[in-house]
Amino acid sequence: MTTFDLRRLALRSGGQHREDVEIELEPLVYAGREYELRPSPASATLAVTKASSGTVLELELEVSLHGPCVRCLADATLPLALELREYQATDPGGGDELRSDYVADDVLDLSAWARDALALALPDKILCRPDCAGLCPVCGRDLNAEPHEHAEDEPDPRWAALRQLRGQP
């Protein structure tokens, strides 16, 4: 877990601190499959700006997600570039919306912030390519590598008596 101590900055109102940080990222589990985030640790840029009523936190991060395609199970790579912003009020008397979930005792949890933002940035389906054909439902072969169709199977012989009745007037 990567954290950043905001107390060490000692910023005045209007002041800003910008720093390159390395964030440890754990693999994401999505739709029952594990996806690795690369590089890990990920390089990011953190900007902390002191406002008169609180602190504005900004994080820029670029990673790629590596794991199985949900249609064909081949390797899929999804590049993600995030620009994140959080606000932490000095006196959050107005409610929880003025308090960041990632700041506790003036310590910013960068790993949790990045993980949550990456999870929200994921598409509905992680594919190896946009036009992925998937696997054949009959034989299980990859339709991207071997596009094919199967001949219609002969009907079950146990239904023969019903087919004869249907054919009679």
Q: For 31-54, what is each residue's pLDDT tens digit?
A: 889 999 999 899 999 999 998 888
Over range 117-134, report the average pLDDT: 94
Q: Where are the extended beta strands (E) located within the chain? A: 3-5, 16-23, 28-30, 33-38, 42-50, 54-68, 75-89, 103-104, 107-109
Banded pLDDT at 121 (limits 50, 70, 90): very high
How far is Cα 104 from Cα 87, in angstroms, rounded to an integer?
13
- Enumerate the β-bridge partners of residue 81: 62
Residue at 24: amino acid letter? E
Contact in structure between 108 and 6 (CB atoms under 8 Å):
yes
